Structure 1
Amino acid sequence: MSKKKDNLPTPFNDLPIADFLKSIDGFFQDAFRNFNFASGFPVHQYETNNQYIIEAQLPGIKKEQINLDIYSNHIKISVENSEIIEEKNEINNSFKSSKSFHKAQRVIMVPFTISVRDVKASFRDGLLKITIPNKKRTIEIE
């Protein structure tokens, strides 16, 4: 019975076909596993009587990859990912290393100046939720 290498069917075990198929497989696995940094991420904003709420959908992202910065009446949401992938093949006596860095960001403007101490942010199940007390004042006209 023939042996399998890297779970590929027997006819595909010969190099360079095996490495080629493995790289294609890795490409599609990474494409669907990772967050799509190229297209950004969806942001939904709305206000209630008491709060201004910003929600960003960040599936597959970890809390440590998210940065929030406040500038006057703007909030910048940044998501960063860096990876170092190393593969060592002792059979072929080869070593492959690849590094990647991705960053996506959105800047959201709110209709009032933001106080850093008033902003609250939570991240659960891929949803970043930022709440800011609504500082809207209604002026009565005489």
Structure 2
Amino acid sequence: MSKKKDNLPNPFNEQPLGGLLKSIDGFFQNAFQNFQFVGGFPVYEYETETHYIIEAELPGVKKEQINLDIYSNQIKISVESSEVIEEKDDKHHVYKSSNSFQRAERYIILPFTISQKDVKASYRNGLLKIMIPNKKKRIEIE
């Protein structure tokens, strides 16, 4: 038994519905193209004799997009990106506008409380480096 396949047009490929679906697909495919931190970003922590150091890899991010907040023994690193794309075609009377906003953040819990005045941060070549004086004190055991 063979089934006969109708040669009916696929409404999902026809205009205007097909065009609408393609533009929706394009939006979701391109929405996070310029912002790589949807799932977070790599953060590394290590200690030296004098400092506790936190490094975050943030390639392609501008310094103005980075925020550092201090809460007692925590540091929050957040990165925000927003973009407005507008397209206008006077010939076909089409106007498209799309907005995107992305935010990624990481909390680092430190083994001691910190003061904002003690924290130094720098950002160069996509690497955020946070230096905190190491307040760890050794206790001599008798």
Root mean square deviation of aligned Cα? 2.4
Report the number of matched residues: 125
Partner residue, 1:50: 50
SS at match of 2:61: coil
5 Å matches for 1:1-142?
20=22, 24=26, 27=29, 31=33, 34-142=34-142
User: Which AA in structure 2 matches 1:104?
Assistant: A
Is there any run of 5+ residues in structure 2 with no aligned partner, and where?
1-14
Judged with a 3 Å threshold, the aligned counterparts in structure 2 of structure 1 residues 18 and 51 are, in CA distance, closer, same or farther, namely same
C-alpha distance in 2 between matches for 1:89 and 1:103: 31
C-alpha distance in 2 between matches for 1:69 and 1:40: 17
- Listed one character per residue, the Cα deviations across residues 69-107 of structure 1 (whole Å, up to 9, x for unaligned) are 000000000111111111111221111000111110000
SS at match of 1:53: strand
Judged with a 3 Å threshold, the aligned counterparts in structure 2 of structure 1 residues 59 and 39 are, in CA distance, closer, same or farther, namely same
Judged with a 3 Å threshold, the aligned counterparts in structure 2 of structure 1 residues 133 and 38 are, in CA distance, closer, same or farther, namely same
User: Which AA in structure 2 matches 1:138?
Assistant: R
Provide the TM-score with structure 1 as the length reference: 0.78
Is there any run of 5+ residues in structure 1 with no aligned partner, and where?
1-14
User: Which AA in structure 1 matches 2:66?
Assistant: I
User: Which AA in structure 2 matches 1:57?
Assistant: E
Larger helix percent: 1
2:42–2:57 CA contact under 8 A, matched in 1:
yes
Judged with a 3 Å threshold, the aligned counterparts in structure 2 of structure 1 residues 116 and 123 are, in CA distance, closer, same or farther, namely same
User: Which AA in structure 1 matches 2:51?
Assistant: Q
C-alpha distance in 1 between matches for 2:50 and 2:114: 14
C-alpha distance in 1 between matches for 2:70 and 2:30: 36
Provide the TM-score with structure 2 as the length reference: 0.78
C-alpha distance in 1 between matches for 2:111 and 2:120: 17
